[in-house]
Structure 1
């Protein structure tokens, strides 16, 4: 994919490196001399465009006409909103992602400004803490869609309520995708009996994750 990241701070540079390793075409836009001095040491020069990220000529030099994704990562919410609006309204960029610096303005980051995904850091951290409290030691392997569903892994500990029970007897609100037992994959069926130390892979929404955590004994 062709990806433009507007603002080249440390987080943006780390993101760019990860995407470049995955063979995406990544371009960083930055105008601050002190940041450019840093980023030129971190990222290959051909991936950096120097200039004002709201300047249409700079955006076009960065390849916005061919871009699949724009990530607006500046520390100014107004700039991030305007960037997403320009990308969607004038260049038809397919995905626009914006960093939210002040949570009280998160409601503005919507389809009116062509924002597809808003990265509200304070809210994300709060959600991570809440999720950790409500789902115990469950591991989230992959977020799906817009984050409504997750592929999760739970290891059944000693004394878990689910031990010795058949899958068909459980009132699950999630889908059991696989069970790993002693290094082997056990396809889940209705008569599958859960054992201690089984690694259970499931597809679940938030309610389903909490349901799994209770049954599989990771939280009291």
Structure 2
């Protein structure tokens, strides 16, 4: 897979190294000469250009990319690059970095963004997940307003302890993806039995997210 990354700063280069290790082709784009640290990611393609200009993106052959990652430190640049990538080049998957939480509402399909990644939100979610038992915690949004990865840690008082997966009726648009128990990930089946301390991972819509707790925790 050929992946273009707009922004060759620390974040962009780190993403590039991970993707290269996974066997993908990576193009790093940045207009700042100081960001052209080619020796730090020698296996990537490099292009010194403005990711907000059509001529630059033409030179990058963006139409040959399957994914665009807008990873600069400027939300305006990330939005414009995302919109151009989606509307002008038809890139199937556009992932955009959110630097400032107040701008999160902008990062949706109207700007060509398929997946928006907010570092502050992820960190706060991980903090919540570490200290919250019995509450539903949103960890990640796959598509803004459509699907979220959420977590619920079962307390000792949970009404579902000792019951099997198939005995619990989940709300519409919610699916139990995995159970994490004693550090092990269980790809749950209908006959798995819930235990206290289980971390349950769900993929759910925002509406279903608010109903999940009622399925496992008695009020």
TM-score normalised over the length of structure 2: 0.67
Counterpart mapping for 1:114-129 below 5 A:
114-129=112-127
The question of 1:132 aligning with 2:130 is answered: yes
Counterpart mapping for 1:1-220 below 5 A:
1-37=1-37, 40-44=38-42, 46-135=44-133, 146=143, 148=147, 150=149, 188-189=190-191, 194=193, 205=204, 206=209
CA contact (8 A) 1:4 1:26 kept: yes
Task: Decide which moves more: 59-68 or 199-208.
Answer: 199-208
Shift in alpha-carbon separation, 1:151–1:24, aligned structure 2, 3 A: farther
CA contact (8 A) 1:65 1:91 kept: yes
- CA–CA distance in 2 between the matches of 1:117 and 1:178? 21
1:2-48 superposed Cα distances (whole Å, 9 cap, x missing partner) = 211001111211111111121112110123232213xx122126511
CA contact (8 A) 1:70 1:97 kept: yes
Task: Decide which moves more: 17-26 or 101-110.
Answer: 101-110
- CA–CA distance in 2 between the matches of 1:109 and 1:196? 38
CA contact (8 A) 1:74 1:80 kept: yes
CA contact (8 A) 1:177 1:188 kept: no
1:107-148 superposed Cα distances (whole Å, 9 cap, x missing partner) = 222222222222222222222322333348xxxxx9795494
CA RMSD of aligned residues (A): 4.3
Structure 1 residue runs without a partner (length 5+): 137-141, 216-220
- CA–CA distance in 1 between the matches of 2:102 and 2:170? 37
TM-score normalised over the length of structure 1: 0.67
1:218 aligned residue: none
Q: Which has more radius of gyration? A: 1
The alignment of Structure 1 onto Structure 2 pairs a total of residues equal to 208
SS of the aligned residue for 1:71 comes to: strand
1:58-113 superposed Cα distances (whole Å, 9 cap, x missing partner) = 22222201111111111111111111121122111112222122222222222222
Shift in alpha-carbon separation, 1:135–1:36, aligned structure 2, 3 A: farther
1:139 aligned residue: none
- CA–CA distance in 1 between the matches of 2:118 and 2:212? 23
